[in-house]
Amino acid sequence: MIRVKEVVQTVSNMLGQLAVAVRAAASVAILAGIAVLVGALAASRRARVYDSVILKMLGATRGRILLAQALEFTLLALVVSAIAFELGVGAGWYLSVKVLELDWAPDWVSVGLTLVLGALVTLVLGLLGSLPALAARPARALRSL
């Protein structure tokens, strides 16, 4: 005869393992997203140098160029966060309610913090990727283009 206490302990262990698996999968997804973002920034480096050189020739200061790029990355971060929110909430609801037949009870504070942190990482990585473009000398950059 199986004791209730043993069943509860077994289920608790299984849920703990499931939580670890979900966290590991989420970590891999986040790292993959960061790798894609870094790759996209590296691929657009030449275009950023060109834009920055042209803007410098037209009289823009480094501060103005950095501000424009910060605005661009902020808008990008907001769009990506909105898409991630919609897809994540939709998938989470579907899996919880339809597949696992559980109550839908997301932790909205964690969701919000994740979105804000993701947007900040996008902004910071974007600006760090833009710094070499700001240092480019117009004459040298135009000769190499």
Top-confidence residue, 1 or 113 = 113
CA 21 to chain centre: 21
Q: What is the pLDDT of residues 10-60, one digit of tens each?
A: 777 777 777 777 778 877 887 787 777 777 777 777 777 888 888 888 888
Would you say 106 and 89 are in contact if contact means Cβ atoms under 8 Å apart?
yes
Instruction: Judge whether 138 and 53 are in contact, CB under 8 Å.
Output: yes
Which whole number is the average pLDDT over 70-96? 86
Contact yes or no for 130/45 (Cβ under 8 A): no
> Which amino acid type is present at position 130?
S
Give pTM, 2 decimals.
0.66
How many residues would you count in the chain?
Answer: 145
CA 145, CA 139: separation in Å to the nearest integer?
Answer: 10
